[in-house]
Structure 1
Amino acid sequence: MNLPIEPAAQPVTEPDALAALRAATDSRHTLLDSGLAVGAPDASIADYVAHLGMLRAWLAPLAGWLAGFGDGPQAAHAPDVRLDMDAWLRARLALIDADLRDAGIDPESLPAASDAPWPAQAGAAYRWGVCYVVEGSQLGGAVLYGRLHERLAPHPLRYLKGDGIGPGPRWRLFMQALRAHVRTREDIADACRGACDAFDRILATRAHLRA
């Protein structure tokens, strides 16, 4: 008697947080990049100042919100002290303010974002998703610096230049930490919601400042 052949068992694969985040935010990422005047071949100091103003309006309330948590990306037991999100964001905002002053702009005179406050009870996975967007926003800085530093000289472009090492090593550390802490399908879905909200807020901030 011929026995029925059982179908080969399919390997069980764990969901990949990075792949899910990329897929969830792809269209928003494209929309944001397509409207960045600072990335145009003829970008000017005025374009750079506008870019800094947008980032400041987005990052300042976000930094204050993240500082109110002690877990997730802000955990004291984070896998690597170099990922200290609070100190890193404060340092990035200081570079923005220094660049604005070099361009003759008082940072405090710039308009703030018009968004509602970030959710006070957001879970750790949601905040990992938000921080994924914040960290990823730094990856194009080195490219822009290489393109603009001669064109916009003598402005030092501190924010784009960063520490001179580039954001790559930090990004790799961050992704290792995110994958270690955002593993279940529920957490990945929550992280995707946080990432999409982060993109939506910076897009809304850009629209608000242009208006």
Structure 2
Amino acid sequence: RGLTLEYYPAILWLGFFFAGMALARWLSSSSPAAGGRLFLGGVAASVVVLTAGWAGADAFGPPSYDFGLAPPVPTTWAGHWTTYGFSDAVGWTLSSTALSVTVVGAALWVAGRPGLVRRLIAPFVALGQMALSFYLLHFLYLDTLWSDLAPSLDHTGVFLLVSLVFWTMFALLAQQWLRVLRWGPLETVLHVVTTAVIRPREREGPRIRAPMT
């Protein structure tokens, strides 16, 4: 039951991982124009999935509920129609994947544009290079400043505005960090550990098994 229903269903969350791996593999062998195609495909998929989720939730899903930062998780199959953020529903999983593809496509397309636009997105490129560090840092933020802001976040627009300010601050901090150091703090630790593990094996070379007699 926990694979598909209730909190953090394994199948749905692993889906994000495999979707990201597949997307990265496709992008590694695609042309520079792939960003534009990815953006258009993501927009089309988002419209279809969000519309289907809205219609399905309206017809078959549970009663609607007020805005909240911790929406109830689906306990029945009908609850999977919803596209409500972090609801752990199939509808949310598909819609957030489609929206993520849209954002990635737009980012790739914009990153290929010369001039002012590229300079404006430079902080967010830096943020992507320090994703692991800031992912863990945001938990500290949630336990401190966010606790004071949370009671005021009673509307989707306010929540979105605060989130944009939060990530913009992180992006600017990441940009300044990478002007001094090559990697983020946790990325540095990960690099050191993986280098310590991989390089000795590279020096040893491939191991050749003795033929069986």
- TM score, norm. by length of structure 2: 0.34
Greater helix share, structure number: 2
Greater relative contact order structure (CA < 8 Å, 6+ sep): 1
- TM score, norm. by length of structure 1: 0.34
